[in-house]
Amino acid sequence: MIRPTVWIPRRLSDATLARARATYDLIVKDDDTPGTADEIIAMSGQVDAMIPCHSEHFTADVVARLSPRLRIVANHSVGVDHCDLAALAAAGIVVTNTPDVLSDATAEIAMLLMLGAARHAVTGDRLVRRGEWTSWSPSFMVGKQVTGSRLGIVGMGRVGRAFAAKARGFDMDIHYYNRSRLPADQEQGATFHSDLDSLLAVSDFLSLHCPATPDTRGLMNADRLAKLPAGAVIVNTARGALIDEAALLAAIESRHVAAAGLDCFQVEPGGNPSFAAHENIFMLPHIGSATVRTRDAMGFRALDNLDAFFAGKAPRDRL
């Protein structure tokens, strides 16, 4: 029996690669750099499937030039804004993602960012690390308390609900905005807002957990940031495109927004150099799902989808 050939452009976990090699003939891009449009197009004539990450972009132009040999794109990610789903569907290429398995890891990073932004983690680390901690007083590094504060969550999907569960451990008063209200067993006492502006008005802390779509790009612009209570803290572990970064910078500089915790940016890798001058912006390099357990689970979920497809079954996570 001829084994399907799979292209893996990024370095996946050892467990994922070991399992993949047991079933498929692999072509792995050893330098672990993003697959370019030309590489994606060239490889499409050599493989039956691809396991790309968010770093590989399947635009309409790229899809139009793909070989008919490529039959499935099994993404190693939950977000699929790097894929033109309509173009891929028109080309007869199945697309899957990896939901469920990274919710807790990403929610942990959101909690880290919220706490770090609220309690001056960047400044505190710098002072101690550089030997600049030379004094103390009751007014030294006074931050914003998380416990008992109102938390607004934009997007109450898997990650949003996982974050809410962790925030309940801090006795936070949880509010959320979602396309539709959750059933009571998922809502867990959180307050639903059918209007985003209504949510913003009560959010001492605001955490973004919605996908980047044409409707949500630039969601947090100057007008919406102004609707937050003075001194609010904003957290983003979803997609950089959700925030107008110039507007956020202006809100930080005016002190209307007290702090921000960001794991994603409009430009990745790299981030926004203008943020670096502000120690009340706590930044991480898009590592929300970066745990051993989660990386293995993501890789296995992608392989589960491939296994089902090549067995003639419907992949669990087909989009």
Report, as residue numbers or ranges, the catalytic residues: 239, 268, 286
Residue with tokens 């880290």: 112
Question: Inter-axis angle of helices 121-129 and 103-118, to 10 degrees?
Answer: 70
The percent of the chain in helix, strand and coil, each rounded to the nearest 5, is 35, 15, 50
Report whether 110 contacts 288 (CB < 8 A): yes
Three-class DSSP category at 256: coil
Question: Inter-axis angle of helices 158-168 and 103-118, to 10 degrees?
Answer: 50
Q: In angstroms, rounded to a whole number, what is the distance separating the alpha carbons of residues 219 and 16? A: 36
Element holding 262 (H helix, E strand) = strand 257-262
Closest-CA residue to 286 (of 36, 106, 117): 106
| Dihedral sign from CA coordinates of 110, 115, 118, 123 | negative
The C-alpha angle with vertex 235 and arms to 195 and 97, in degrees rounded to 5, equals: 85
C-alpha of 247 from chain center: 21
Q: In angstroms, rounded to a whole number, what is the distance separating the alpha carbons of residues 195 and 206? A: 15
Whether residue 269 has a cis bond before it, omega within 30° of 0: yes
| Dihedral sign from CA coordinates of 185, 190, 192, 197 | negative
Q: How many residues belong to the chain? A: 319
